[in-house]
């Protein structure tokens, strides 16, 4: 595979990872907002439960509240797992992006060095050709003077 092909693949990888990070960040932001909303709802429900409990609850009402609160805690816990997982994936993707960007930089330097070497080779060949042409002219003049 040529250097240019490798460079193009790495640039595409960087772009892909940036898009992936954007998607993960969006999902993470939405999940965190859901988490805050759910926490607020749980606090509000806890206040309503406390008010109703001071006036007395039937066994059925008590069981319903316990079930609702257990379901909310479970959903909140699951959302926390989702957030933690997304955070971990974001960090891993960010590390991969940093590595891919570093590879792009290295490949760019290699390409620049190759181009400089090619330019130096061309300049040497041109100089050799000029030197040979000058040498021939000197030789021709030397023969003409004799």
DSSP single-letter state for residue 2: -
Whole-prediction pTM? 0.70
Query: Is there a contact between 65 and 57 (Cβ–Cβ < 8 Å)?
Result: yes
| pLDDT tens, position by position, 63-104 | 999 999 999 999 999 999 999 999 999 999 999 999 999 999
Judged against a pLDDT cut of 80, whether residue 143 lies above it is answered with: no
- The domain tally of the chain equals 1
Task: Please say whether the beta carbons of 14 and 101 come within 8 A.
Answer: yes
Quick one: CA dihedral 73, 76, 81, 84, positive or negative? negative
Q: What pLDDT shows up at residue 145?
A: 60
What residues make up the domain containing 31?
A: 3-145
Burial (Cβ within 10 Å: 0-12, 13-18, ≥19) of residue 87: middle
């Amino acid at each position: 595979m040529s250097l240019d092909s490798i460079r193009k693949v790495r640039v595409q990888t960087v772009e892909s990872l940036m898009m992936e990070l954007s998607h993960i960040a969006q999902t993470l932001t939405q999940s965190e907002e859901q988490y805050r909303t759910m926490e607020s709802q749980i606090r509000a429900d806890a206040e309503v439960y406390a008010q109703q409990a001071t006036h007395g609850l039937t066994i059925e009402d008590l069981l319903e509240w316990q079930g609702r609160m257990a379901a909310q805690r479970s959903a909140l816990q699951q959302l926390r797992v989702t957030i933690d997982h997304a955070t971990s994936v974001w960090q891993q993707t960010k590390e991969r992006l940093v590595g891919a960007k570093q590879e792009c930089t290295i490949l760019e330097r290699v390409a620049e060095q190759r181009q400089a070497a090619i330019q130096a080779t061309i300049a040497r060949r041109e100089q050799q050709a000029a030197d040979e042409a000058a040498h021939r002219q000197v030789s021709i003049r030397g023969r003409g003077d004799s």
